[in-house]
């Protein structure tokens, strides 16, 4: 069997949203497929600092910050932060619309000081909201926005009550950034990310394929939310979790059980990866 490259979203896919502990079944499946010569990569919107607790499980590299920071083994093969001007414009226009923001550098995340109280009133079930709720109440070290020191930023996470609050930022930045908004039908706020149009998870996968000389047909991608869209559209075989967005399920090749129900292990068996 030719070498396969497997790309795993974290929140809502590899782990319960906001957690750093994958199910034992997933870790066993990952080790078994690696023993067969396949390679397993994290493919996440998290920055390096927020994904680093998972590195102890022995992944072969990462597509981090939604494609803005890529590694194969210990080698960094792509590194594309926002410019300082882009970061300044994003924060000014988003805050002018009353949008709550977090900004992600490689090694630190900064959040609006009142983000925690905003999230405390929101519904549960959305993996991105759950990630931030847990991050703010645990040890993931989200610092107050007032402490931001100008270090390079890769993406901005946004939360607000109405889409119209994004109008000013869209007018200023939509030519340079995708506004990736999550499904919100069951939740009381909009949440999403500003992703640089120079990269996404799908193009991150293609860059890793090129580096390793593996055809994209030999790739598998696992995700659950709309920030996984480009990954799902790019990989040779796409898998959505049962707990995932309905729109993503409709375009995926396979829907596996939820992360809580050992979905990754089941899908690895289904596709003969273990």
User: Which pLDDT score, from 0 to 100, does residue 68 have?
Assistant: 95
Q: How far apart are the C-alpha atoms of 271 and 210, rounded to whole Å? A: 23
Q: How far apart are the C-alpha atoms of 103 and 212, rounded to whole Å? A: 31
Closest by Cα among 98, 64, 104 to 193: 104
In tens, the pLDDT along 171-205 reads: 999 999 999 887 554 445 788 889 999 999 999 99
User: Which pLDDT score, from 0 to 100, does residue 119 have?
Assistant: 58
Provide the pairing of β-strand 5-8 with 219-223: parallel
Q: Which residues have a Cβ under 8 Å from the Cβ of 60 and sit 6 or more positions away? A: 34, 39, 40, 41, 72, 73
Closest by Cα among 171, 201, 178 to 65: 201
Per-residue pLDDT of the chain (274 residues; tens, 9 = 90+): 799 999 999 999 999 987 899 999 999 999 999 999 999 999 998 999 989 999 999 999 999 999 999 999 999 999 999 999 999 999 999 999 989 899 999 999 998 876 655 555 555 555 555 555 565 555 456 888 999 999 999 999 898 878 899 999 999 999 999 998 875 544 457 888 899 999 999 999 999 999 999 999 999 999 998 889 999 999 999 999 999 999 999 999 999 999 999 999 999 999 999 9
Question: Model pTM?
Answer: 0.84
- Cα angle: 206, vertex 46, 180; to 5 degrees: 70
């Amino acid at each position: 069997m030719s070498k396969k490259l497997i790309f795993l979203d974290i929140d809502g896919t590899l782990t319960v949203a906001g957690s750093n502990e994958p199910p034992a079944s997933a870790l066993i499946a990952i080790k078994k497929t690696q023993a067969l010569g396949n390679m397993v990569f994290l493919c996440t919107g998290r920055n390096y600092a927020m994904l680093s607790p998972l590195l102890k499980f022995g992944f072969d590299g990462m597509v981090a910050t939604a494609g803005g920071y890529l590694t194969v083994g210990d080698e960094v093969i792509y590194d594309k932060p926002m410019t300082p001007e882009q970061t300044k414009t994003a924060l000014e226009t988003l805050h002018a619309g009353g949008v709550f923001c977090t900004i992600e550098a490689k090694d630190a995340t900064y959040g609006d000081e009142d983000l925690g109280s905003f999230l405390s009133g929101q519904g549960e079930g959305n993996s991105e909201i759950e990630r931030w709720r847990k991050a703010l109440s645990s040890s993931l070290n989200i610092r107050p926005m007032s402490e931001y020191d100008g270090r390079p930023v890769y993406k901005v996470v946004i939360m607000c009550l109405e889409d119209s609050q994004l109008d000013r930022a869209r007018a200023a930045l939509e030519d340079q950034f995708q506004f990736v908004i999550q499904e919100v039908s069951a939740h009381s706020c909009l949440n999403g990310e500003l992703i640089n149009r120079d990269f996404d998870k799908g193009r991150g996968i293609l860059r890793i394929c090129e580096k390793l000389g593996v055809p994209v047909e030999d790739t598998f991608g696992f995700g659950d939310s709309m920030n996984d869209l480009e990954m799902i559209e790019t990989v040779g075989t796409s898998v959505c979790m049962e707990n995932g967005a309905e729109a993503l399920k409709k375009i995926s090749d396979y829907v596996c059980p939820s992360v809580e129900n050992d979905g990754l292990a089941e899908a690895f068996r289904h596709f003969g990866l273990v």
